[in-house]
A = this chain, B = another copy of it.
Amino acid sequence: MTRFFELQACDESSEARTGLLHTAHGAIQTPVFMPVGTQGTVKTLSPHDLSACGSQIILGNTYHLYLRPGTAVIEKAGGLQCFSSWNRPILTDSGGYQVYSLSGLRTITERGVVFRSHIDGSTHEFTPESTTDIQLSLGSDIMMVLDECPPYPSSVEYAAESANRTTAWAQRCRDHFAETGPKYGYDQHMFGIVQGSVYPELRHQSLEALLELDFPGYAIGGLSIGEPKPVLFELVETCTAMLPMAKPRYLMGMGKPEDIVEGISLGVDMFDCVLPTRNARKGQLFTWTGPINLRNAKYKGDFQPVDAECPCYACQQFSRAYIRHLFHAQEILAMRLASLHNLTFYHALVAACRASIADGNFKQWRRSFLEKYEIKQRKQHAVLT
């Protein structure tokens, strides 16, 4: 039997590493960036587009899919892969984060969380058991335990109480999954989530308790929600130092290209973020010399591609001037071309990290990347300030 996670190369200058995640819907090369397909689709893109971008695995949001179209419809379709025609791996969150960020009224108890739908105000409850069942029905290759993500800042008292609840819920998720087993006859995996806000001691406790539950992978949650960047990276380092080498680590909800490279150097294997697709829809495109805002007047008569070396359809077929025109004319094709490009960039970025880790020159690659990428950002900053 193939192991779920296969560690392949480790960087000598940092904690960076490459690996392979084996799932029923295919193997995933890590480090990996996972586009967010909130409602069963990565906004503006088709499964064909995603494959063309180099996407290996996409996220689904349990909260959204549970509310609309509803678990029953997706189960009847045979799971989210069949429903959405994305026949590669899918990771789903537990729904907890959206309950905290989108739902109006919500009540957290030891039993679970009662909340109101942001769509129609109807009342619902998520428990560790129910979110496990939903994710099983969604056919997720990688499921997440129900957790609570305390806001930033939170008092140490509240963060401790919350982290303990997340641990208790993690155990119930794991036990429930162990009892029910996978839904569709193929392997499904469940990750634990480390919480503890910005308190290293709480992160330690959370992590130790989760390690005892022996999950096949671990996520670092509750970050990228407003805390200073140095604090974030210190906490990531604290966590990855304690996590077993042989299991994948997933840093939830981050981030910018330079942050992902930093996360990789700290030993993170998996990333997700709405940034490349959300910012694409606003006209921000990522390039190797930094992000550009394609809506700017200077691109009006610029007939070069966004990035001459980029293999994406947007760069191969269209000019900056044309895509800029589409943005100003509020044409949907603009958002799609920009999303295609940004995801292609993000996937190429982590692919370059993987290659340099495997080749033993991640340190040099990283310095060279940051020099090129940040010089442009400083220039832009200088112009703006």
A57-78 interface code vs B (CB 8 A; 1 in, 0 out) = 0000000100011001100110
A39–B321 contact, CB under 8 A? no
- Indicate the member of A41, A44, A64, A318 with the most B CB atoms within 10 Å: A41
Pick the contact of A321 from B41, B69, B317 — CB < 8 Å? Answer: B69
How far apart are the CA atoms of A76 and B47 in the complex, in Å? 35
* Stretch from A144-152, A234-242, A250-258, A328-336 contacting the other chain: A328-336
Q: In the assembly, what is the distance between CA of A20 and CA of B228, in Å?
A: 66
Chain A 7-51 interface mask (CB, 8 Å, partner B; 1/0) = 000000000000000000000000000000001110111111000
Contact with B along A132-154 (1 / 0, CB 8 A): 00000000000000000000000
Q: Which of A333-381 contact B (CB under 8 A)?
A: 333, 335-337
User: CB distance B77 to A321 under 8 Å?
Assistant: yes
List of B residues within 8 angstroms of A118 by Cβ: none
Taken residue by residue from 283 to 304, chain A's Cβ proximity to chain B (1 for < 8 Å, 0 otherwise) reads as 0000000000000000011010
Partner of A69, one of B40, B69, B300: B300
Q: Which residue of B lies closest to A330 (CB)?
A: B39
Q: How many copies does the complex hold?
A: 2
Is A326 an interface residue when CB atoms closer than 8 A count as contact? Answer: yes
Kindly state the separation between the CA atoms of A43 and B329 in the bound complex, as whole angstroms: 11
Partner of A322 from B72, B85, B336 at Cβ < 8 Å: B85
Distance of A263 from chain B, by nearest CB (Å): 29
Is A319 an interface residue when CB atoms closer than 8 A count as contact?
A: yes
Task: Check: A107 CB closer than 8 A to any chain B CB.
Answer: no
Q: Does A155 contact B (CB under 8 A)?
A: no
Contact B41 A326 (CB under 8 A): yes
In the complex, besides A68-B325, A69-B321, 17 extra interface pairs with C-beta distance below 8 angstroms are A39-B325, A39-B329, A40-B329, A41-B326, A43-B331, A43-B333, A45-B333, A46-B317, A46-B336, A46-B337, A69-B329, A72-B301, A76-B303, A83-B325, A85-B317, A332-B332, A332-B335
Across the A-B interface, give the 10 residue pairs with the lowest CB-CB distance, nearest first.
A69-B325, A39-B329, A85-B317, A44-B332, A41-B333, A41-B331, A332-B332, A85-B318, A83-B322, A73-B301
